Structure 1
Amino acid sequence: MGLFKENPFGHILFLKKWLIRILGIMTHQRYKRFNKLEIEGSEVIRNLPDANVLFVSNHQTYFADVVAMFHVFNASLKGRDDSIRNIGYIWNPKLNMYYIAAAETMKKSLLTKILAYAGSISVERTWRSEGKDINRKVKFSDISNIGKALEDGWVITFPQGTTTPWKPLRKGTAHIIKKYKPVVVPVVIDGFRRSFDKKGLRVKKKGILQSMVIKEPLEIDYEDESFESIIEKLEYAIEQHPSFLKVISEKELLAYEEENEARRYSAKS
C-alpha cells in the first residue's frame, strides 16, 4: 500500500488503518471483559464477496453497535469462529468497510470526526434535524456516495434511522437495494442499549450479555420485487416487524429485561 493511497472518498488508507487499530485497541474490552459479546454467523462473513455487500441491522446506540461490527467482521475474516479473542485481527483491518451515519452527528465533535474518517458515509437526514421533525428531499449526492462505497466494499446501514426499537424502516434502503443490487446481509443485535449510554461512548453497566447474529444473505428479486416487499422482508430479517410486538407481550418484554439483568453477573466469566 502506498503511504498516501486514498479510498474513493479521499481518505488516506494508511491513516485510516492506524485509526482503526487504535480505536480497536481502545474499545476491545467493552465487548470482551466489561461485557460479554455472543456472536453467531462468523462463517457468513467469510463467504461474502469483497465488495457490494450491504449489512442491514437494528440500532441500539449511535456508535457502540457499529464499532462492535468492525470488531466482529475483522475477527471473522481472520479466522475467529464467533469470537473476538486475540485482538491481533485488528492489525490488518478490512479498509473498504463503511457505515451510514447522520451528517449532523458526525460533525459534532473531534471524536465523531475521527470516527467518521474511520469509515462513515455521512448523509443528511430527511425526516429529522437538530431534534426537530423536518421534511426535505433526499440529496442525490448521498445516494451516490453510498453507491460508491458499495462499489468499493462493504456498507453497514441502520434503516430505522433511530435507536428506538420497532420504528418503521426508511424506504430509502429499498431504493438503494434496487439501484445497486448488493448482497444484503441482516444483522440482529441486542444488549447494547443496556450496556452503553445512548451515544455508545460510555459503558453504562458492566457484565451485560450482548449478542450479534449475522444471518445468511436475503434472496431478493432486484428487478421485480416491490419496495414495500423488500422493506417488509428486511423488517422480518432484523426482527423489527410490527408483528413481533403482537407475539411478545409487555409482560414478556419486562421478563426478558429482568432475565438479562440477572445474566449480567454470569456473563462476567
Structure 2
Amino acid sequence: MGLFKKDVFGNNLFLKKMLIRVLGLFSHRRYRGFNELQIEGSEIIRDLPDNNVLFVANHQTYFADVAAMLHVFNAALSGRVDNIKDVGYLWQPKLNIYFVAAKETMRAGLLPKIMAYGGSISIERTWREKGKDVNKKVKLSDVSNITTALKDGWVITFPQGTTTPFKPIRRGTAHIIRQNKPIVIPIVIDGFRRSFDKKGLLIKKRGILQSMVIKKPMDIDYENDTIEQIVEKLQFAIEQHPSFLKVTKEDDYFKSEKELNKKREFWDMY
C-alpha cells in the first residue's frame, strides 16, 4: 500500500491504518480487561464478500459500539473465532469498513473528529438536531455517500438513529437496502449502556458482561418486499420490535435476570 493512496472519501489509507492501530490498542482493554465482551457468530464475518455488506445493529453508545465491532470484525478476519485475544489482528486491519454517524456527533470535540477519519460516513439527521425534534429533508449527498461506501466495502449502521431502545426504525435504511441490495447482517449488542457513558468514551462501570451476537444474513426480497416489510424485518432482526418488551411469565423474567447478573460478575483476564 502506497503512502499516498486514499479511500473513496479521500482519506489517506496509511494514516487511517495508523489511526485504527493506535485507537485499537488503547480501546482493547475496554472489551477484554475492564469489562468482558462475549461474542457469538463471528465465524460469519470470514465468509462475507469484500464489499456491499450492510451491518445493522441496535445502538447503546455513540462510539463504543462501533469500536467493539471493528475489533470483532478484524479479529474474525485474522482467524479468531468469537474472541479478540491478542491485538495482533490490528496490524493489518480491513480499511474499507465505514460507519454511519450523525454529523453533529462527529464534530463534537477533537476525539470524535479523529475517529471520523477512521471511517465515518457523517450524515445530517432529518429528525433530530441539537437535542430537539426537527423535520428536514434527506440530503441526497448523504444517501450517495452510503452507496459509495457500500460499493467500496462494508458499512455499519444503526437504523434507529438513537441510543434509546425500542425507538422506530428509520425508513431510510430500508430504502438503502432496496436500492443497493447488500448482504444485510444483523447484530445485537448489550451491556454497553451499563459499561460506558452515553458517548462511549468513558468507562462508567467495571465488571459488566458485554455481549455481541452476529446473526446470519437477513432474508430480504429486494424486488417485492415493501419498505414497511423491510422495516419490520429489521426490527425483529436487531430485537427492537415492540413484542420484545412483552414478558409473558414473571417467574421466567426474574430467573433470567438472576442468571444474567451472575454472568456479569467480573473476573480479571490479565
Q: TM-score, normalised by structure 2?
A: 0.95
Question: Measured at CA, do residues 103 and 257 of structure 1 come closer, stay the same or move farther in structure 2, by a change above 3 Å?
Answer: farther
Contact 1:4 1:13 (C-alpha < 8 Å) held by counterparts: yes
After TM superposition, where is structure 1 displaced by more than 2 Å over at least 4 residues in a row?
247-269
Q: Which residue of 1 aligns with 2:225?
A: 225
SS of the counterpart of 1:80?
coil
Alignment of 1:9-48 (within 5 A): 9-48=9-48
Question: Measured at CA, do residues 196 and 227 of structure 1 come closer, stay the same or move farther in structure 2, by a change above 3 Å?
Answer: same
Question: Measured at CA, do residues 167 and 256 of structure 1 come closer, stay the same or move farther in structure 2, by a change above 3 Å?
Answer: farther
Q: Give the unaligned 5+ runs of structure 1.
A: none
Question: Measured at CA, do residues 196 and 261 of structure 1 come closer, stay the same or move farther in structure 2, by a change above 3 Å?
Answer: farther
Cα deviation, residue 42, structure 1: 1.4
Please give the alpha-carbon distance, in whole angstroms, between the structure 2 residues aligned to 1:140 and 1:259: 47
Question: Measured at CA, do residues 194 and 253 of structure 1 come closer, stay the same or move farther in structure 2, by a change above 3 Å?
Answer: farther
- Output the amino acid matched with 2:157: T
Cα deviation, residue 264, structure 1: 2.9
Cα deviation, residue 223, structure 1: 0.9
Question: Measured at CA, do residues 161 and 256 of structure 1 come closer, stay the same or move farther in structure 2, by a change above 3 Å?
Answer: farther
**Percent of aligned positions that are identical:** 66
Question: Measured at CA, do residues 259 and 195 of structure 1 come closer, stay the same or move farther in structure 2, by a change above 3 Å?
Answer: farther
Superposed CA offset, 1:184-227 (max 9, x none)? 00000001011111110011111111000100001111111100
Q: Which residue of 2 aligns with 1:55?
A: 55
Alignment of 1:103-182 (within 5 A): 103-182=103-182
SS of the counterpart of 2:265?
helix
Q: What is the count of residue pairs matched by the alignment? A: 269
SS of the counterpart of 1:32?
coil
Quote the RMSD (CA, aligned, Å). 1.7
Q: Which residue of 2 aligns with 1:206?
A: 206
Cα deviation, residue 267, structure 1: 4.4
Q: Give the unaligned 5+ runs of structure 2.
A: none
Superposed CA offset, 1:226-252 (max 9, x none)? 001001111101100011112367997
Q: Which residue of 2 aligns with 1:88?
A: 88
Please give the alpha-carbon distance, in whole angstroms, between the structure 1 residues aligned to 2:106 and 2:173: 20
Q: TM-score, normalised by structure 1?
A: 0.96
Contact 1:206 1:264 (C-alpha < 8 Å) held by counterparts: no
